[in-house]
Amino acid sequence: MTKRLDYNQVAPNGAKALGGVYGYVLQSGLPGELVDLVYLRISQINNCAYCLDMHSRDLLKRGVKPEKLALVQAWEEGGNLFSEAERAALAWAESVTLVAATGVPDSAYQAARAVFNEKQLVDLTIAISLMNSYNRMAISFRSTPQAVEAESIMEHAS
């Protein structure tokens, strides 16, 4: 996979605008680990290698155990590894990310509202929307995952 272009250099103001939304999510009060789990799940759904690599690394740095990371895709079967809030956030993230298929039904909204207040749910939805945007940018322009870059460096060094 060859990088097509660096969208950060081509449209720095657009990248900065997305960064502003990212900054908003960081200060929203949502737990960082929960947001990173949501980012990872969205990136799994969208098959974004760049973001899968980045968010897996972020979660490991936060001290999330590899066993939990391995089950994010199957979180519904993860039992007590995932808190009530994490399960609600992951379910909401899936429904919103797959909006064309789900229509984000009332049942999904009601389940999310049972756990999150209005502001938390809006902030979570902003985070979901942002990650879907980042996934589309990274996939469209073929951003290279850190793991692939590291492997390439190792190959050239040998």
pLDDT digits (tens, 9 = 90+) for 78-137: 999 999 999 999 999 999 999 999 999 999 999 999 999 999 999 999 999 999 999 999
Residue ranges covered by each domain of the chain: 15-157
Give residue 158's pLDDT.
60
Q: Which CATH superfamily is domain 15-157 in?
A: AhpD-like (1.20.1290.10)
Give residue 149's pLDDT.
75
Among 116, 106, 121, 126, residue whose Cα is nearest residue 42: 126
Give residue 77's pLDDT.
97
Gap between the Cα atoms of 92 and 112, Å rounded: 6
Q: What is the pTM of this model?
A: 0.91
